Structure 1
Amino acid sequence: MSGTTVRKWIGPFLAAVAMVVSIGILVVSIVESHERKPDAERLWVADPTPAIAQLDGIAASISERGEGLMAARQVATSSSRVIDGLMERSRGAETVMYTIVSGGSLRNVANNFGIFHHEITDWNPGVGLDTDLPAGSKVVVFQHKAGARSESIGRASAGTLRDGVPMLEGPGRVLRANRFKLWGTASTVNRMDWVLTQWAKRYPERQLILVGNLSLRSGGKVTPHKSHQSGRDIDISYPQVWDGVEEIHWEKMNTHNLDREQTWDLIDLLVGTNAISVIYVDYELQRLLYEYAKETNRYDDVRLKGLLQFPDDASVEGRIISHAPGHVDHLHVRFLCDSRDTQCVDG
């Protein structure tokens, strides 16, 4: 082949090679970008809707980008044995650890959390179910199943919970319920974690909020409740008039011991999630909150009417804060169904 012919074809040939290489790079880039999906929904990622994502500090509670461990003292009773331990989770992980302080066994821990014996032994290979575990032993008490997503099914008063996640200790709270009654949907746990973390952040000198029952791990009937069956209900304490010293307990609230200002502050945080179905507050306590709001000009009449049943009849529907018998010593918070929970029924 002559030099002229070679020069004639070398240019188009190199151009074709460059095009093939470019196409190859493009294909690889497309494949890689397709495979590089955002982090899969982790244990506590709860469909961060725009309303939630805009809330101050939400990244620290929902996005899993926070650092460090959340840990707090917890005393749990299983059968006749007391287990004193620490609860912790890594925000980037899907494993929940329990650190035993004064001794126990996997059986004790499993019974306390309401998890199957075969699960806890699978999560802690090489440890016998009844092996005495010394203080400082770390026990896995929850491991997220690949591809699983928590889901509220049915109504709060006639439903179940699929792949529930545990409520843990953290800022602004003290857990005061049996561990096997402290399971909820990821969205419920996330939102409540945000509310209580904000409570601690904004009001660091105030009392901790007591956290009572949520749901069983798989939902269903929770004694003594009619509701709490589908992972969206949670009982919390009213902020009390407090001397800053005495330990907080569940107390029946009245005109003398209800801290009206702090109760409104807590309600504002809850309502600020834009995910509240209802907050049950005793009708007489609604009166105290109403009078305080009027006296301090905290809200205008339109806002109050949208929040409280009082001064209208306790049977009036459609108010965020509603009366139900048995809520003089705690608020009952119910979150709306997650947008992806197609079998969930609000109300």
Structure 2
Amino acid sequence: MADPQKLRERPPFPAFFALTVGLLAETSGCVSAPSPLTPHASGSVGVPHAGVQTDAVELKKGRSFLRFRPHSRNYWGRPGLVRALQEATAAVDKSIPGGKPLLIGDLSARYGGKIRGHHSHRTGRDVDLLWYVTTPSGVPQNNPGFIRIGSDGFARVQETGEFLRIDVERQWLLVRELMLSPHIRVQWMFCSRDVEAVLIEYARARGEPDQLVWHAESVLLQPGDSLPHDDHIHLRIACSQDESVRGCAGGGPYWPWLPELPRLGALDDSLLTEIATDDPLDTVMDESPNPSVTRGAVSRAQPPAEG
């Protein structure tokens, strides 16, 4: 009988290679798209800037939000993200009645991939959220579209010359609802440092729990490789537990307060023995109707003998 300890140290190459490839595929999720070679890949597949998606849900018009581009085809995302947006905006409306609908920018194409104007937004995990805004005196207004908020919380509308200010009460509540949503795990909320400072200052003044404020300070970030995001929040969600083993990867840190991702269980001695002693090439040759052809194909794959 084979010694499991020796097998653990160095299993035969064909079985070791197959085992290694299989484990890497299951744990890393680094695949480019679902295909016959990667049938396990589904949902959000790949990283946000190089991936696709399956089983997406469309974000249709709602009472508490509007699509910034009503006829765009890029309003498809992960089911949890779509539901979180619907519920978070509805919660803002219920908590602070009398406001205007939130304008929501691009999510992803139905099957993912590159869309115009974005480096990411390819796997259904990204969405652009424009600001809730009011007049300087506090009357809610419709956002005219990607207006840039300064350090004082105000923005000048180029077309009209009027000033609007960020509705910090509604904006913070939206951030809070998204972070606490049971349907998503917030990975990043890209926005400018000025807007982050305004939101965090308000959250502290409001008496929000220290842990919640810490979470917000962690996920709110001005990106270093693009525009400062002073005209919207770019929300990105982390891979779900199921998607993490079906091809979803990357996009940022998986924060310590999020639910733990599945771990690969330890392989026991009997399974290691079975893997190490089962050479798939033997099965191929035994089942081939023309073993000589199969062996020839295998022999051609070997390095030529010296001589």
**Partners of 1:284 and 1:179 in 2: CA distance:** 30
**Partners of 2:144 and 2:222 in 1: CA distance:** 22
**Partners of 2:143 and 2:110 in 1: CA distance:** 27
TM-score of the aligned structures, taking structure 2 as reference length: 0.56
- For residues 263-290 of structure 1, what are the alpha-carbon distances to aligned partners after superposition, in whole Å with 9 as ceiling and x for unaligned? 1111111111152111111112112223
Q: Give secondary structure in 1 for the equivalent of 2:166.
A: coil
> Does 1:287 find its partner at 2:186?
no
TM-score of the aligned structures, taking structure 1 as reference length: 0.50
Letter in 2 for 1:321: L
Which of 94, 102, 116 pairs up with 1:201? 94
> Does 1:299 find its partner at 2:208?
yes
Shift of the 307–190 alpha-carbon distance from structure 1 to 2, 3 Å rule, reads same
Does structure 2 retain, via aligned residues, the 8 Å contact 1:150–1:186? no
Q: Indicate the residue corresponding to 2:143 in structure 1.
A: 248
**Partners of 2:180 and 2:209 in 1: CA distance:** 17
Which of 125, 136, 154 pairs up with 2:46? 154
> Does 1:323 find its partner at 2:222?
yes
> For this pair of structures, how many residues does the alignment match?
188
- For residues 23-74 of structure 1, what are the alpha-carbon distances to aligned partners after superposition, in whole Å with 9 as ceiling and x for unaligned? xxxxxxxxxxxxxxxxxxxxxxxxxxxxxxxxxxxxxxxxxxxxxxxxxxxx
Shift of 1:260: 1.9
**Partners of 2:171 and 2:126 in 1: CA distance:** 18
Shift of 1:223: 1.7
Does structure 2 retain, via aligned residues, the 8 Å contact 1:233–1:332? yes
**Partners of 1:187 and 1:150 in 2: CA distance:** 15
Q: Give secondary structure in 1 for the equivalent of 2:188.
A: strand
Q: Give secondary structure in 1 for the equivalent of 2:66.
A: strand
Q: Indicate the residue corresponding to 2:237 in structure 1.
A: 335
- For residues 101-149 of structure 1, what are the alpha-carbon distances to aligned partners after superposition, in whole Å with 9 as ceiling and x for unaligned? xxxxxxxxxxxxxxxxxxxxxxxxxxxxxxxxxxxxxxxxxxxxxxxx9
Shift of 1:245: 6.8
Query: Whose relative contact order is higher, 1 or 2, with alpha carbons under 8 Å and at least 6 apart?
Result: 2
* Structure 1 vs Structure 2 CA RMSD: 2.2
Shift of 1:163: 3.0
Shift of 1:203: 2.4
Does structure 2 retain, via aligned residues, the 8 Å contact 1:150–1:185? no
> Does 1:273 find its partner at 2:169?
no
Identity across matched positions, percent: 24
Shift of the 232–290 alpha-carbon distance from structure 1 to 2, 3 Å rule, reads same
Shift of 1:244: 4.4
- Unaligned 5+ residue runs, structure 1? 1-148, 309-318
**Partners of 1:292 and 1:300 in 2: CA distance:** 12
Letter in 1 for 2:104: V
Q: Give secondary structure in 1 for the equivalent of 2:134.
A: coil
